[in-house]
Amino acid sequence: MNIAKPASPALSGELIAKFRGIVGNKYAVTDAADIAPFLTEERDLFHGCSPLVLRPGSTAEVSAICQLATVHRIALVPQGGNTGLVGGQTPHNGEVVISMRRLDRIRELDTASNTMTCEAGVVLQVAQQRASEVDRLFPLSLGAEGSCTIGGNLSTNAGGTTALAYGVAREMALGVEVVLADGRILNLLSKLKKDNTGYDLRNLFIGAEGTLGIITAATLKLFPKPRAIETAYVGLKSPTQALKLLSISQAEAAGTLTSFELLSEVAVDFSIRHGIDIRDPLSSKHPWYVLMELSSPRDDARNTLEAILEKGMEDGIVDDAVIAANLGQRQAFWKLRDEMSGAQKPEGGSIKHDISVPVAAVPDFIEQADAAVTKLIPGSRPVPFGHLGDGNIHYNVSQPIGGDTADFMGRWHEVNAVVFEIVLRMGGSISAEHGIGVLKRDELPEVKDKVAIELMRSLKAMLDPQGIMNPGKVL
């Protein structure tokens, strides 16, 4: 089904004045220097253009913007913290940017219902802190949690390091408030865990990357705050050994195993080499590492973690391990992990993959992908790391030492093709937690069920007949 193309991005002074009248002069940005930060993203892969950035302060203002845009067929790109990694938040063709950062109120904290209702511009770290202040946990945790927003997290269905225990963003939201393309406000905010009243419309918008509507608020699940958190950094020989340790950990820790990260030696080396105040927690190098964490409502997490590591050593799985002795050491372990993406930049070009395969297939995937990539580009350096507990691996590939960065990056889609072929053969996904955006848009029809693509296009045409909502993204 064809979707109407948005109108020309050119805006008359009269129309800009009408948009300005909605948000106020201060929050309608037209100066090129002030617009510039909204046009680029973290990886510097995409550079957009826009004549206008609007910064609404309420759902009503977002509604009015959409109404006006629909009348004049003006394309809109919603943007949260601008931390997305697939170009979904970038105005590639001169669209008007709607920055959601001013919608930053926490409307309600209900400890009896274990819910928190946040506006879309609330920074993830702020949501975590507010939950902690009332002795609750909001468990979504990402490397960009100091700047990413709740609306962006839900629009991309973010994953993160705790998905093993708590699931992804979709599973942490009970309800959402959404502004549709024509300005109607869809109120699906709810504290209910049980509500069988027809279609689950909430999930249409979570993960839709702003192509069906703009999420303006959400009711989020809260959990009991852990009384004990214990973290270990483990050296071992292979992903197969890490998988065995995961099995032991899940059996021994039951539901208290909250993170289980697999780190390759090269990824660790990059973090230590290029990070600030980062060192190897172990006295000698190992081919692979695991960063694991237990979070318990009781004070027994340390005993459980020690028992897991002891069994791992007895079974010849664990070669060395250290348990964080205090909060500072725990933070140092996580800093080593969190710096891995940024630490690849000084090594030159890096071709990224955010894939998932069945957990049991991770070792075979890494082995086969390493062989395929280094055959395609001799000297290239695979840098795999990620969430072994849920099968999500960030399979990045750094350029050969001394190679030409432009030539290497020009082979992005060739590398994607060989990696994706292995992923699909194993029953995996080409996008585990970063979304589709424009980076993977063209590959999506080749890997998604054909009927599913047809339904997605039909939904897009129904909810956004003018094609103004984040056009060119996902589909």
pLDDT digit string, tens, across residues 363-405? 999 999 999 999 999 999 999 999 999 999 999 999 999 999 9
Instruction: Report pLDDT digits (tens) over 217-255.
Output: 999 999 999 999 999 999 999 999 999 999 999 999 988
The crossing angle, in degrees rounded to 10, of helices 13-23 and 59-72 is 160
Indicate the pTM of the whole model: 0.91
Distance between CA atoms of 77 and 70, rounded to whole angstroms?
A: 13
Question: What is the per-residue pLDDT for 45?
Answer: 81
Residue closest to 422 by CA, chosen among 450, 388, 395? 395
- Per the CB < 8 A criterion, the answer to whether 98 and 58 are in contact is no
What mean pLDDT is reported for the chain?
A: 94
Distance between CA atoms of 412 and 352, rounded to whole angstroms?
A: 8
Distance between CA atoms of 50 and 427, rounded to whole angstroms?
A: 39
Torsion sign (Cα): 345, 347, 351, 356: negative
Residues 413-426 have a mean pLDDT of 96
- Per the CB < 8 A criterion, the answer to whether 395 and 419 are in contact is yes
Looking at this protein, which amino acid is placed at residue 61? E
* pLDDT at 7 > cutoff 60: no
Residue-wise DSSP of 196-225: -SS--THHHHTTSTTSS-EEEEEEEE-EEP
Residues 133-142 have a mean pLDDT of 95
- Residue 314 DSSP SS3: helix
Instruction: Report pLDDT digits (tens) over 83-127.
Output: 888 999 999 999 999 999 999 999 999 999 999 999 999 999 999
439 token code pair = 């980076």
Question: What is the per-residue pLDDT for 73?
Answer: 95
